[in-house]
Amino acid sequence: MNSSPSLKLSVLDQSIASSNQAHDKTIKNTLELATLCEKLGYNRFWVSEHHNHPSILGTAPEILMGAIAVQTKKIRIGSAGIMLPHYSPLKVAEQFRVLDALAPGRIDLGVGRAPGSDGRTARLLNPNLYSSDEFPQKTLELKAWVTGENLPPNHPGFEVNAFPKTESQPTLWILGSSDYGAQLAAHLGLRYAFAHFITDGTGTEEALEIYRKNFKPSPDNEKPHTIICVWALATENENEAWLQFESRIRWRIDRNKGVLGPLLPPEGAQRKLRPDETNYLESFKENALVGSIDNVERKLRKLATHLQIDELVIITWTHDHSVQRRSYELLADAFELNGQAVN
């Protein structure tokens, strides 16, 4: 294996529902995974926000982050992300300033403009849901309250402060899966994370190029800082990895028909496929970061080198929590994560 420690690894966990598992157990598994990943040497542990989604149970990242903050000591903790259209930027800034007080210097505030839900649910979350056209302005307001800057005198929030004020502050990230987020992050001089796992890699290179080419230095970020979130699953041998991957394969095929639900066990996830489903499956598997640890390590390093990325955020769905844990353990060992600096 390549022993170079230069590539950092982080984690995104979405609290994925598994058949025959209580939802509270799934949330507790996320907390357990966070403490494990800190011990293994991962750089960040991020959690997501989705609503009315029977597969993804992580609905309140700020609460999960608080629980993780008091159970960990050094790993960075973040949101991937807060769906800003649902909320007041002032309230989000207050929440994350409290989190930073609990875990000083360890909080990442990742924000996105997608609703993380269907339109009807989005309206129930916020009857005054603002349009995506307002996302840049809301992000600017959030940035001001997070960093302690004052808003202009003609702004309703002029001289309004977000408390508590501490020596450190959350680090603001723009999350995206298209060129839009890359352009905004570049314009505002913010850090940028691309959701490679949502697009299966499509558009990744273009978005990173737009971000790097158009980046405007800011007081918080003198140069562009990019990471990508990728889906990966590693086991000791190739056959076992692809067997465990059957749970996600079935979920993807069902999702394409508009059917969402908890992950099925791999042995029960297989069914006879139509020709169009078989074609989709072959294409989906072709570039999947799945396999033995040696193969997955090689694929991840190749991807990071190609994209000129020095940190990858790994997301892994498995029906069995122990399989997910083992994948992260194998990756930590392969990339020699123990002792790496957290930043």
Tens digits of residue pLDDT in 211-269: 999 999 999 999 999 999 999 999 999 999 999 999 999 999 999 889 999 999 999 99
In this structure, which amino acid lies at residue 307?
L
pLDDT for res 126: 84
CA distance 31 to 35: 7
- Binned at pLDDT 50, 70 and 90, residue 1 comes out as very low
Tens digits of residue pLDDT in 61-86: 999 999 999 999 999 999 998 999 89
CA distance 336 to 8: 9
By CB atoms closer than 10 A (0-12, 13-18, 19+), residue 152 is exposed
Q: What separation in angstroms does the CA of 313 have from each of 18, 58, 136?
A: 22, 17, 25
pLDDT for res 341: 45
Domains of the chain: 8-334 (3.20.20.30)
Our measurement of the distance from residue 263's CA atom to the centroid of its chain's CA atoms, rounded to an integer in Å, reads 19
Q: Model's pTM, two decimal places?
A: 0.94
| Cβ pair 234, 293 in contact under 8 A | yes
Residue carrying the six token digits 């994209």? 307
pLDDT of 154 over the 80 cut = yes
| Cβ pair 229, 193 in contact under 8 A | yes
pLDDT of 132 over the 70 cut = no
CA distance 46 to 315: 10
Q: What separation in angstroms does the CA of 193 have from each of 185, 215, 326, 329?
A: 9, 14, 25, 24
Tens digits of residue pLDDT in 187-216: 999 999 999 999 999 999 999 999 999 999
Q: What percent of the chain has pLDDT over 90?
A: 83
By CB atoms closer than 10 A (0-12, 13-18, 19+), residue 257 is exposed
Helix (H, G, I), strand (E, B) or coil at 157: coil
| Cβ pair 291, 238 in contact under 8 A | yes
Query: What are the backbone dihedrals phi and psi of residue 36, each rounded to the nearest 5 degrees, phi first?
Result: -65, -45
